[in-house]
Structure 1
């Protein structure tokens, strides 16, 4: 019997539904779409699911995503106490204090569940520091190449669900995941998106460029090139520009990278750049996380964001800004830079744009290959369904817990 059929057999034999919590503990909504689609599939398999959120915006986004099964899911809002809120005013500039405090102050709530499903690694603190004995299931939010996605903290998770073989192989190489404790299921976010859609955002027929810088104080092009990029697009009339950075870039003024030991203060965007008919600036709306801009644009301009892998679902030109003078060739943390032109200054941007479509024949095969390695797909079956099946199978088979 195949593993999938065996999972269903185990489910039928289960004496009680598993109590599974989906935890969304972040400042923004960008992580929600990576795990929320799994919820309705688990409900359909007879599981007892609770959604735990730390902000109203996260809860609203989850409710939109799981509308068909929302009436069969319990919602719980978590928050921190007054002392932690006071500390957070200062501490949030350096560490994600509120997220950590939410974990520490709600351990008793989390203890009620058989498992927690999370799209981030901060939740590993529940095991490593807060002594919570629970099965943690991790699904990375995004499918990018940055080294921060391949850290030792991954080993704290009991089950790791992965979008494709690229991430799996790199994690196996670093011994971050174990046989029987991981599964390649695909990318549930794609289940929620009409990939044939082509939103029209400008009243002209110019090519549209999506500039999507990351927030990392070292890897992001925003810090040293971003304003020059915006100014260049403001002056010209050959292209439209969508400026939609990672939603965390404009969430705070001060950005700290523990990994790269760098702190930087974000500049404000002049108001005159916000009122141009051919430039759209969006620093964190729903459109920034639901692939509206990815589907609307013709050329991708970026640096370290995993969103480029969503972009190549429909192969199109990519240009990458090497603002930090990285020696990127052969470095797996920059694998996505092989999918387009890499430029070292904004002065090179006009030429790179001019030849972008002429050179796309060089990069299209690389993009197609990268997409296949990054995202597992099975015709006629959703990634969310595969993920739900793997979760039920794992929890049913885990002999470390009583039935």
Structure 2
């Protein structure tokens, strides 16, 4: 059985969600593993994550024509042009696979538009958040969906986008890649550290309307350190579009003046922004719509959410994570909110522990091993 793993994105944040499975699935003698990567950077990242298992894997480079590469240089900051073109121009590379494992849904174009019908398609969502975009009808196009836990499964079943017989709960393979050692110290002093982790969604993100007031507030105070580490896609593009909310927003350039402050660390997309360095090192989470909040509560700590869109969020499943901390509507509320977080650090501990247990299935067996077993059991 030939099982392919596709890595076809502008950034590297999806790789840890599926790459660990490769090291487990090559243990099956009937499996031939193939990694299909659309850049050398992605291939190198996969190799680093799977270590010696790379010797048992065939690596395929997905290339595009010079014209596509040139157009991508002009369009990459506004649209996923290269991602789609890579699928179209490399359709033949997928034709002899029995199974294709992906962490996103664009890959369905292979079947729906480019005539690649043979491989069974396996989807592992890259995150376990609550945004409505993760529960769209497009999920029905997959032959097997591997899920992190009961929360996501129950919502997908209720929406009718998965069936009782085409999914499995396997846990969260990304956790298998995280170093268990203590996170590094990121600041010279012992001030409490806040992680500001805005999403890129043009409606839900706090960055477009509240980002500057938030950074200005932190720049002008001396009680907290601040890590500014947005979702990596915020920095990848200048124009952000939301199909679900039918909204476009232009991202302003990040102001250099914030980078020179010793109590503020700015990371617009390094390895540390995707390997949980910051979610493990900080003391208070400040965000909006990112699924990283669920990685944060692996160790319960205070969280604050910025309601930049004026959402009527209570009772809305798309904002379930806002029950895990205090929600504020304006940056002027930061001082009092952060004070309460410091003085009552366990106020939301019970809610966070319950949410983590519902979101992530944890057993003695690594999630990546459970995922590999589920794929082989279904298609092997």
Contact 2:302 2:346 in 1 (8 A): no
Deviates more, 1:123-132 or 1:304-313: 123-132
Partner of 2:36: 52
Once the 2 structures are TM-superposed, how far is the Cα of residue 181 of structure 1 from its aligned partner? 1.0
What is the alpha-carbon distance in structure 2 between the residues aligned to residue 219 and residue 115 of structure 1?
35
Equivalences for residues 142-153 of structure 1 within 5 A: 142-153=127-138
SS in 1 for 2:164: coil
What displacement does 1:96 show? Answer: 1.6
Shift of 1:98: 1.1
Q: Which residue does the alignment assign to 2:235?
A: 250
Counterpart Cα distance in 2 of 1:304 and 1:383: 25
Would you say the 8 A contact 2:25–2:33 is kept in 1? yes
Aligned to 1:8: none
Q: How far apart, in 2, do the equivalents of 1:94 and 1:76 lie? A: 27
> How far is the alpha carbon of 1:82 from its aligned partner?
2.8
**1:81 paired residue number:** 65
* Aligned counterparts of 1:258 and 1:234: Cα–Cα separation in 2: 34
1:188-212 CA-to-partner distances (Å, cap 9, x unmatched) read: 1111113452321100000000000
Deviations 1:262-298 (A, max 9, x none): 1111112222210111100000000000000011100
Write the distance in 2 (CA, Å) between the matches of 1:286 and 1:56. Answer: 16
After TM superposition, give the deviation of residue 359 of structure 1 in Å.
3.4
Identify the match of residue 182 of structure 1 among 167, 170, 189. 167
Cα separation, 1, equivalents of 2:211 and 2:158: 35
Tell me what 1:10 maps to.
none
* Equivalent residue number for residue 11 of structure 1: none
Answer whether contact 1:213 1:220 (CA < 8 A) is retained. yes
More displaced stretch, 240-249 vs 62-71: 62-71
5+ residue gaps, structure 1: 1-17, 397-403
Alignment match, 2:14: 31
TM-score (norm 1): 0.91
Give runs of aligned pairs for residues 115-264 of structure 1, distance below 5 A.
115-133=99-117, 134-264=119-249
Higher mean C-alpha deviation, range 94-103 or range 80-89:
80-89
Listed as ranges, the gaps of 5+ residues in structure 2 are none
Q: What is the rounded CA distance, in whole Å, between the counterparts of 1:203 and 1:291 in structure 2? A: 20
Structure 1 match to 2:26: 43
Contact 1:198 1:295 in 2 (8 A): yes
Displacement of 1:331 after TM fit? 0.5
Partner SS, residue 36 of structure 1: helix
Return the offset for 1:20: 0.6
Q: Which moved more, 1:192-201 or 1:149-158?
A: 192-201
Q: Give the match for residue 387 of structure 1.
A: 371
TM-score (norm 2): 0.97
Instruction: Give yes or no for contact 1:93–1:256 (8 Å, CA) kept in 2.
Output: no
Partner of 1:400: none
Distance (Å, rounded) in 2 between the aligned partners of 1:141 and 1:212:
17
Number of aligned pairs?
378
Q: Is the 8 A contact 1:195 1:295 kept in 2?
A: no
